[in-house]
A = this chain, B = another copy of it.
Amino acid sequence: MTQLTNDTFLRALLREPVDYTPVWMMRQAGRYLPEYRATRERAGSFMALCKNPELACEVTLQPLERFPLDAAILFSDILTVPDAMGLGLYFAEGEGPHFEHPVRTEADVERLPVPDPEGELKYVMDAVSTIRRELQGRVPLIGFSGSPWTLATYMVEGGGAKNFSRIKGMMFDRPDLLHRLLGKVADAVSAYLNAQIARGAQAVMIFDAWGGALAPANYRDFSLAYMQRVVETLTREAEGRKVPVILFTKNGGQWLGDMAKTGCDALGVDWTTDLADARRLVEDRVALQGNLDPCTLYASPERIREEVARVLASYGKGHGHVFNLGHGITPDVNPEHAGAMIAAVHELSRPYHQ
């Protein structure tokens, strides 16, 4: 396997010494880049882009051509897994994702298969291999999945949810059934992430988009417990290096302390929690990734630089910080503003690592 030219990101996730704070952006391969929009146009649709390993590789690498990012992240979608479970993913014009066959009944849960990552999801694994080959060791590649709770939410609601009425209805009235569903989804997520690691993902991240919509006890039982189960079943070493695992619950700032005890290596933090507070909550157990408000990128480059300085200062001295936005970069951001953020992180973070 190729040696990594820049492993700053992996070292930061393991709280090892680095010279500067590494940086990447959630959704860095995305609509804010004209070159992404051109490739997506060629692919025909978003899912066609996800399902074509060469094009998925192309868009994965695009932000790295523009910016000195410290990590690449697989271009894909969290709904590939439920799609491979036979739910029939489709996108209605101008709307979010939908499933033709949502999961509502005991029979629906029973008949759900745990998909073979090298079968129905082989296109994702081929994308991982292709990206690793094309990266030539410049920076590490992050693999990812949605969290079991987040995937189950989409599966039960039949798409995006406004108020989670169906999934929470199941949670309150049929917790046994929801636990069976989550168990299956967790198995699917474990197999999916392990296959990504086997194909060359050098770190993995679990995105829990909807865990923050739960009451604390429900979060622990229905979201965190299943992320922990996934963490416990992951391959943690590959190519002679540790494979770090990052958990990210959007709006989960109050639960960082619990999340840090799952055995993961790092936690994503959204911008509503100060990194100094987050650092106290996790008691040096894990690294932290975040947490600039993505809307900061609408401001001028000078203001962006000030806000980067503020985030770096909030984490403070010492290792274990990966800079990121607190959520995905928004489609209408000027790419030069993203560049200004990345340059500011690299320049302003050096004193914190001396």
Binding site for B on A (CB under 8 A): 163-165, 168-169, 172-173, 212-219, 251, 253-254, 271-274, 277, 293-296, 298-300, 303, 307, 310, 326, 330, 332
The answer on a CB contact under 8 Å between A165 and B330 is yes
Please indicate the chain B residues that have their CB under 8 angstroms from the CB of A163 in the complex. 294-295, 330
Assuming the contacts A253-B254, A330-B165, asked whether A216 and B295 have C-beta atoms less than 8 A apart, the reply is no
On whether the beta carbons of B271 and A215 are closer than 8 Å, the reply is yes
Given B165, B169, B251, B332, which contacts A272 in the complex, CB threshold below 8 Å? B251
With known contacts A163-B295, A173-B303, A299-B169, A216–B251 Cβ distance under 8 A? no
Closest to A167 in B: B295
Question: In the complex the two chains form, is B165's CB within 8 Å of A215's CB?
Answer: no
Main secondary structure of the interface of A (DSSP, over half): helix
Q: In the assembly, how many copies of this chain are there?
A: 2
Interface centre among A164, A298, A330 (most CB of B within 10 A): A298
12 additional A-B residue pairs with CB within 8 Å, beyond A168-B298, A172-B307: A165-B295, A165-B330, A165-B332, A168-B299, A172-B300, A173-B298, A173-B300, A212-B272, A215-B274, A217-B310, A251-B272, A254-B254
The residues of B that contact A295 with a CB separation of less than 8 Å are 163-165, 168-169, 172
Contacts of A216 in B (CB 8 A): 272-274, 277
- Given A272-B214, A307-B172, decide whether A165 and B298 contact each other with a Cβ distance below 8 A: yes
Q: How far is the CA of A298 from the CA of B273 in the complex (A)?
A: 31
The residues of B that contact A274 with a CB separation of less than 8 Å are 215-217
Task: Knowing A216-B272, A330-B163, say if A172 contacts B298 (CB, 8 Å).
Answer: yes
| B251 engages A172 (CB within 8 Å) | no
User: A171 to chain B: closest CB distance in Å?
Assistant: 8
